[in-house]
Amino acid sequence: MSSERSSLRCRVGGLDLRSPIIAASGTWPHDPSFWRGELTAGLGAICTKGITRNRREGNRGIRLWETPCGLLNSIGLQNSGVEAFISGELPEIGSRDVSLIANVAVEDLPSLAEVLKLLASVKDQIDAVELNISCPNVDEGGIAWGSNPESTAKAVACARSLWGGPLWVKLTPHACDIVKVATSAQECGADALVVANTWLGMAIDVESEKPVFDRVVAGLSGPAVFPLALRLVWEVARCVSIPVIGCGGIAEARDVVAMLFAGASAVEMGTALFLDLNLPAKFTLILKEYMQRHGYASTEEMVGVASHAGGI
């Protein structure tokens, strides 16, 4: 089979993607020059930074801390607020050549409703909403919404009632039972599930003899969490009927293949982009060569192959 006949196009959670690789929230510049041209080659979509009702300055103190195999971050949902996003940032990236997924961070239900009503007024410019019920870097809302099936149901039901387009839900790896949380999100109207967000960690500065971050804990991403994320994708994909998007520690093209084989229909990558924004384009070339060598005509044929081949 010619590699030209291996297609990366796929349909995931109500969205047609030219590639199964997506830039995760908070990892891609909002500068419009980054939303078109060669830099977007290999990307199926880009997630925006987390959007909240009002402007947030983000967390104080140190925000990033490298670990031997990852990155701790404590950004804290810094963003300009939904109205500034609609009036300022969205028009600037309007001529993009890649799909836009608006990451909406859940603080409380009234604020969520206001954000979604405002986004609905520009729905033609937004391809999907990614409901973020998993941010570990804020004191209120965030990860608490995705920690159990009951609070997840409230957030997803609220979003579903106000947003008629594709609705993806980004889960936390710290849910008490992520399969039950995933099932709850599906039952309340999610079109796809992103599995998952960063893992809570911390660092201590041995010179100052105190925690590095003002909030003590921060979100760990990077290659260190890939095996953990892969396991969650495997567990969730076997228990839901909607697409799963694998997210966590993807740093090589073979990680994309592994996520697909575990049951993901697409992947989100983030930390690796800080090293090279051209990785998606490089990965797609390797992925197409792999597909040709193994006789896959589409990535959809690869979804869940590992479980079909003798998994549990």
pLDDT at 242 over 70: yes
State residue 74's pLDDT score: 96
Q: For 109-136, what is the mean pLDDT?
A: 96
- Residues 227-239: tens digit of each pLDDT: 999 999 999 999 9
Band of residue 312 on the pLDDT scale cut at 50, 70, 90: very low
pLDDT at 136 over 90: no
Average pLDDT, the chain: 95
Question: What sign does the dihedral 222-296-261-29 (CA atoms) show?
Answer: positive
H-helix segments, the chain? 82-84, 90-92, 109-120, 149-162, 178-187, 226-237, 253-262, 279-294, 305-308
Q: For 27-46, what is the mean pLDDT?
A: 93
pLDDT at 133 over 80: yes
Q: Rounded to the nearest 10 degrees, what angle do helices 253-262 and 226-237 cross at? A: 30
* Residue 273 near residue 27 (C-beta atoms within 8 A): yes
Percent of the chain with pLDDT over 70: 98
CA 42 to chain centre: 16
Q: Rounded to the nearest 10 degrees, what angle do helices 109-120 and 149-162 cross at? A: 30
- 298's tokens: 């589409």
**288 burial class (0-12, 13-18, 19+ CB within 10 angstroms)?**
buried
Question: What sign does the dihedral 184-180-149-170 (CA atoms) show?
Answer: negative
- Residues 269-306: tens digit of each pLDDT: 999 999 999 999 999 999 999 999 999 999 999 999 99
Q: For 154-177, what is the mean pLDDT?
A: 97
Other CB atoms within a 10 A radius of the CB of residue 204 amount to: 12
State residue 213's pLDDT score: 98
Which of 10, 47, 135, 158 is catalytic? The answer is 135
Q: Is 10 a catalytic residue?
A: no
Report how far residue 23's alpha carbon sits from residue 47's, in angstroms, rounded to the nearest whole number.
Answer: 6
Other CB atoms within a 10 A radius of the CB of residue 133 amount to: 29
What SS3 state is found at 91?
Answer: helix
Q: For 173-199, what is the mean pLDDT?
A: 97
Band of residue 310 on the pLDDT scale cut at 50, 70, 90: low
* Residue 291 near residue 6 (C-beta atoms within 8 A): yes
